Amino acid sequence: MSVISMNIITKFHLFEKKEEKEFQPSKEVEKEILRFKKRWEIELDPHFTTKEIEVISEGLEYYNTKFIKSRIDKIIRKDLGGVHGRWKDTPKHKWMTLNPRIFNFKRRWKDEDTDIPYALFTIVHEIAHCVDHIEKVSFSKKWQAISGWKKCDINDKIPDGYKRYIEKRPGRKIAGHKKSSWIYKEGSDFCRKYTSRNPREDFADCLAFVILGFPEKLKGEGGKKKLGIIKDLLKKVD
Q: How far is the CB of 205 from Zn ion (least distance, A)?
A: 7
Query: Cα dihedral sign for 180, 83, 176, 171?
Result: positive
Number of Cβ within a 10 Å radius of residue 211:
20
Interface segment toward Zn ion; rule CB under 5 A; list 1-9, 37-45, 75-83, 195-203: 195-203
- Establish if 206 lies at the interface with Zn ion (CB under 5 A): no
Q: How far is the CB of 206 from Zn ion (least distance, A)?
A: 11
> Which residues, 6 or more positions from 45, have their beta carbon under 8 angstroms from its beta carbon?
74, 75, 76, 77, 78
* Cβ-based nearer residue to Zn ion, 29 or 217: 217
How many residues belong to the site for Zn ion (CB under 5 A)?
2
Q: How far is the CB of 222 from Zn ion (least distance, A)?
A: 19
* Cβ-based nearer residue to Zn ion, 49 or 95: 95
> Which residues, 6 or more positions from 34, have their beta carbon under 8 angstroms from its beta carbon?
none
Q: DSSP string of 81-103?
A: TT--EEEEE-SS-EEEEE-GGGG
For residues 227 and 215, the answer to whether their CB atoms sit within 8 Å is yes
Out of 96, 204, 207, 212, point to the residue binding Zn ion (CB under 5 A).
204
- Establish if 191 lies at the interface with Zn ion (CB under 5 A): no
- Establish if 123 lies at the interface with Zn ion (CB under 5 A): no
Residue of 84, 82, 86, 48 lying closest to 200 (CA atoms): 86
Q: How far is the CB of 200 from Zn ion (least distance, A)?
A: 7
Residue of 173, 231, 180 lying closest to 201 (CA atoms): 180
189 backbone φψ class: left, alpha, beta (φ>0; ψ -120 to 50) = beta
Q: How far is the CB of 127 from Zn ion (least distance, A)?
A: 10
Name the closest residue to Zn ion (Cβ).
204
- Establish if 83 lies at the interface with Zn ion (CB under 5 A): no
* Cβ-based nearer residue to Zn ion, 86 or 150: 86
**Positions in the binding site for Zn ion (CB under 5 A):** 201, 204
